[in-house]
Structure 1
Amino acid sequence: MRKVEVDLLVIGSGVAGAFAALTATTRGARVLLVTKGALRGGSTCWAQGGIAAPVNGQDDAVHAADTVRAGRGLCDKTTVNVFVREARELVDGLRKAGVPFGQDLTLEGGHSVPRIRHVGDATGWAISSALSTQLVKARAAGLHLLESTFVRNLRVRNGRVVGADLLTPTEPVMVRAGGVLLASGGYGGLFPVTTAPPEGTGDGLALAFRAGAVLRDLEFVQFHPTAVVTGNRARLVTEAARGEGAFLVNAMGERFMSRYDALLELAPRDVVARAIAAERERTGNVFLDLRHLGESFLARRFPTVTASLAELGLHLGRDPIPVEPAVHYTIGGVQTDLHGRTSLPGLYAAGEVASSGLHGANRLASNSLSEGLVFGKRAANAALDDPHPAPDWGEATSVGVADRQVVKAVRQIMGQAAGLIRGEALLRSGLSALDALPPPEVTAEPSIPNLEAGNLRELAPLLLRSALARQESRGGHARVDFPDGTAPMHTIIHRSGQETVLNSVPHTNSTAPPLKRNLC
């Protein structure tokens, strides 16, 4: 096994990982960035709508208030304030890096004013391309890149993460690092229908959990309201479509959002998703109607969506588009502080894999890409600034694998038990069904699909147990048996020895009263 020593190992090449690696490289650090797919893979390049940041200094407080309001009483207000204070400069810096943002700002659900920078409806792809170009150029400054590389396990010594074991296309590699930064995305792959990319198999969370790190609020899963679902594939129709004036109508042709929220189609995602589900159940279908916006405008503003729907025989400017909620973003993650530090020294996290306190119980639209910039940079700096112990290769943490055929069963169980509306009977039934599946096993030479399957198999019961413990409805977690909110709290789960420990802890950074939510 080849051995490599670096100052920082970054796992993931989306916006958080890429920006973290570039930040550390500019400081002269030895950096290794690994990604299990291509450099321009992951969720970032799939993002359509845009990237949110305050318009100016006067908008900081408004953007913070919009974020907190959408987060349903669980945002860490200090984290939110840091985010809005730092986001604008970093987002505007992307233009200098080659991202061709349009001059107009657009509006999305939950935002009080237009503040979304966009590149048509391919903003994520433009950002990913610009950052990837910078990463390749940074090789001259000592940045090392490994694509198609899977992180098998972390390495730990005396409670500190000191490196990881990698599976590259040619050979296994053991890495010793002053810091390990997880930027590996979320766990949308737990569900049968999702807008998340295939890479979203929760690898970073599983790595952290097996090493003993605390995971928080796994039950919060955001369903995007407007997806076009065919079979097991969900094609996203960006939030920006409603920002530009698209209407939601039911099967009787009625606009219905006035019955659910005064913000109508621009209500936060949790409200709109449940409203659409309720109208589909009541009338049979729901459509997104953009026809009044004009064909030429739609073709120019939404070329990606136009092309995607054309494959299904749908014309964005002529047809009402049948939409329904689909799993889009996973809010829970590895618990971190303001600087991306996890509960384990030497381990950091940023982006969708992390639970930083920014999103609370429900992410505000288009905050995720700017989150990656702010906290990717902060985590990289913290990893370089924190004192490093004496060099040691440490011990490998455990590795769980499963037959890839198990994944289909896991997804079916999760879709039934942890969907848009949950209940105790469904959650307990899901746990029983998971218990009947073969548990993750340990093998000397696992394949990457088997490792991904093992990660999903391990995370699924953790999410269901967290959802069962949260006996309330809040944001992305709705319980039919507990339709109201309680005092704000967090669910935290971690491994202690061979046992899994789940606790509920009060949320101490909120003045929000208990919520009473209409579950539609």
Structure 2
Amino acid sequence: MEVLETDLLVVGSGVAGAQAALTAHRRGARVLLVTKGRLRSGSTPWAQGGVAAPRDAGDRAAHAADTLRAGRGLCDPAVVDAFVRESQALVDGLRAYGVPFEASLTLEGGHSVPRIRHAADATGHAISVALSAALEADRGGGLHVLERTFVRALRVSGPRVVGAELLTPAGPLTVRAGGVLLACGGYGGLYPVTTAPPEGTGDGLALAYRAGAALRDLEFVQFHPTAVRAGHRALLVTEAARGEGAHLLNAQGERFMPRYDPLEELAPRDVVARAIAAERDRTGQVVLDLRHLGDAFVRARFPMVAASLAPLGLRLGADLIPVEPAVHYTIGGVQTDAHGRCTVPGLYAAGEVASSGLHGANRLASNSLSEGLVFGARAAVAALADARTPEAGEALPALAADPGSLPALREIVGRAAGLRRGAARLEAGLLALEALPPAFPAGEAEAPAALEAGNLRQLAPLLLRAAHARQESRGAHARLDFPDLGAPQHSVSRLVQGSDRLDLVPHAAVEAVP
């Protein structure tokens, strides 16, 4: 098997991974970036609304307050402070990469003032194109990129992560690395209907978990309020549409959000998503109305959304758009500090794969792209500072499962841990998962699809156990049997390999953390 040495192995090519790779390379490090899709794949290209950062130094306190308010008492204030101090320069610095931000700033749910930079409604795509071009320009001379490459397993020496086993188009590859940085997205692929891309199969969480790293707050799965269902996919209608003045109407034609929150359509996502679900249950349908904004303005402002809805026969500026909440962003992840360090040495994480404490129980709109910039850079700097001389180590076991079992797994997770949960649903879901074929040790020739299925099979019961353990309703986690907010506990579901078994029982075995 071919062996390669590098100072930093970055897994994932979205905004966090690209930022990390560029930061490390421009500090003189040898960097290998691998992505299981193409360079411009994952969630970043699909981000519509924009990227949030303080308008100026005077807006930092307000942006921090908005982030803390949306996080429902579980944000880490020190992490939020670092984010608002560093995000403005990094976001505005994207112009130097060629991101065509419009002159106007826009407003989105949960923000007290307009501070969202945007490139029409294709901001993530514009950022992905710009950062990918920067990576291509830096290729060679110490920065290498492998596309369509799957990370089969991490390598360890004692407690330290020292590299990874890769499946590349040219064959297997062993990487010895001074540090490994996970930036490979979340676990939206656990659900039957999601806006997450096909790459969102929780690979980074499963790799970290098998290396002994702690996973935290998996129960916080954010449902975007305004999605249009198209089979098993959910087409996003950006939060910026409501920022521009779009209204939500129930089947009786009533604008209902004033009854749920003083911020109306611009309330945080958890409030709007549950209000839409309640009105759909009560009246049968909820629609988004942009007609009063003018067809010409809507099509110019939201060309990407308009194009995605056109095949369904929906005209964004002229028709009422039927919307419903759909899984959009997974807040929980690999536990890190403010510099991306995981709970095992040599391993780092940034972006959606990580649980840094920035989002708490509910992510503020458009904080995700700027999160990737800030913590991708921070994790790269920390990894280089902590780096060791690459060593061989040994490969951890990999898991596989039958990809044909995934539809049943997703239906179980969707029923048990949806927008509104309860103990009975979660316990029934755990029992149903036990009836599915278990994950099994993967052979060296196992296909990536089977490895993805193995990762999802491992994560599904952990999510349900985490949701069972949090006996309150907070942010993105709503319990029908515990509707009230409890005293803030950052994590009641810190999951660590070794203290948790794959032949799972209900939540009593979940480690409780003060």
* Fold in common (TM above 0.5): yes
Q: Which whole-Å deviations, capped at 9, do the CAs of 1:104-134 have from their partners, x for residues lacking one? A: 0000000000000000000000000000000
Number of the residue aligned with 1:517: none
Shift of 1:499: 3.8
Number of the residue aligned with 1:42: 42
AA in 1 matched with 2:486:
T
Q: State the distance in 2 between where 1:282 and 1:201 align.
A: 34
Q: State the distance in 2 between where 1:451 and 1:373 align.
A: 29
Q: Counterpart of 1:219 in 2: which secondary structure?
A: coil
- Aligned pairs, number: 505
Number of the residue aligned with 2:6: 6
Shift of 1:504: 2.6
- 8 A Cα contact 1:228 1:324, kept in partner: yes
AA in 1 matched with 2:370:
S
Give the ranges of 4+ consecutive aligned residues of structure 1 lying more than 6 Å apart after TM superposition: none
- 8 A Cα contact 2:442 2:451, kept in partner: no
Number of the residue aligned with 2:289: 289
**Which of 491, 494, 499 is matched with 1:492 structurally?**
494
AA in 2 matched with 1:488:
P
- 8 A Cα contact 2:7 2:390, kept in partner: no
Q: Which whole-Å deviations, capped at 9, do the CAs of 1:316-364 have from their partners, x for residues lacking one? A: 1111100000000000000000110000100000000000000000000
When normalised by structure 1's length, the TM-score is 0.96
Matches within 5 A, 1:92-171: 92-171=92-171
Structure 2 unaligned spans of 5+:
503-508
Q: Does the alignment pair 1:505 with 2:513?
A: yes
Shift of 1:496: 1.6
Q: Counterpart of 1:329 in 2: which secondary structure?
A: strand
- 8 A Cα contact 1:25 1:141, kept in partner: no
Number of the residue aligned with 2:434: 435
Shift of 1:30: 0.5
Shift of 1:140: 3.8
Distance verdict in 2 for CA 1:498–1:399, change over 3 Å = farther
Shift of 1:395: 1.2
Q: State the distance in 1 between where 2:30 and 2:510 align.
A: 37
Q: State the distance in 1 between where 2:214 and 2:170 align.
A: 33
Q: State the distance in 2 between where 1:332 and 1:391 align.
A: 30
Number of the residue aligned with 1:455: 455
Q: Counterpart of 2:9 in 1: which secondary structure?
A: strand
Matches within 5 A, 1:245-264: 245-264=245-264
Matches within 5 A, 1:304-323: 304-323=304-323
Q: Which whole-Å deviations, capped at 9, do the CAs of 1:1-34 have from their partners, x for residues lacking one? A: 1000000000000000000000000011000000
Q: Which whole-Å deviations, capped at 9, do the CAs of 1:418-477 have from their partners, x for residues lacking one? A: 000000000000000000011110132210000000000000000000000000000010
Q: Counterpart of 1:22 in 2: which secondary structure?
A: helix
Number of the residue aligned with 1:515: none
Number of the residue aligned with 2:506: none
AA in 2 matched with 1:64:
A
- 8 A Cα contact 2:45 2:124, kept in partner: yes
Number of the residue aligned with 1:518: none
AA in 2 matched with 1:504:
A
Q: State the distance in 2 between where 1:499 and 1:400 align.
A: 14
- 8 A Cα contact 1:121 1:303, kept in partner: yes
AA in 1 matched with 2:283:
T
Q: Counterpart of 1:276 in 2: which secondary structure?
A: helix
Q: Counterpart of 2:139 in 1: which secondary structure?
A: helix
Q: State the distance in 2 between where 1:47 and 1:163 align.
A: 31
Number of the residue aligned with 2:505: none
Q: State the distance in 2 between where 1:50 and 1:387 align.
A: 34
- 8 A Cα contact 2:119 2:126, kept in partner: yes
Distance verdict in 2 for CA 1:498–1:62, change over 3 Å = closer
Shift of 1:392: 2.2
- 8 A Cα contact 2:47 2:123, kept in partner: yes
AA in 1 matched with 2:441:
V
Matches within 5 A, 1:30-429: 30-388=30-388, 391-429=390-428
Q: State the distance in 1 between where 2:28 and 2:438 align.
A: 44
Q: State the distance in 1 between where 2:256 and 2:499 align.
A: 51
Q: State the distance in 2 between where 1:69 and 1:81 align.
A: 14
Q: State the distance in 2 between where 1:498 and 1:294 align.
A: 55
When normalised by structure 2's length, the TM-score is 0.97
- 8 A Cα contact 1:71 1:361, kept in partner: yes
Which piece of structure 1 moves more, 285-294 or 440-449? 440-449
Distance verdict in 2 for CA 1:292–1:16, change over 3 Å = same
Matches within 5 A, 1:22-37: 22-37=22-37
Distance verdict in 2 for CA 1:438–1:134, change over 3 Å = same
Q: State the distance in 1 between where 2:182 and 2:485 align.
A: 32
Q: Counterpart of 1:226 in 2: which secondary structure?
A: strand
Shift of 1:142: 1.9
Q: State the distance in 1 between where 2:367 and 2:417 align.
A: 24
AA in 2 matched with 1:272:
V
Q: State the distance in 1 between where 2:68 and 2:166 align.
A: 39
AA in 2 matched with 1:468:
H
Q: State the distance in 2 between where 1:239 and 1:274 align.
A: 15
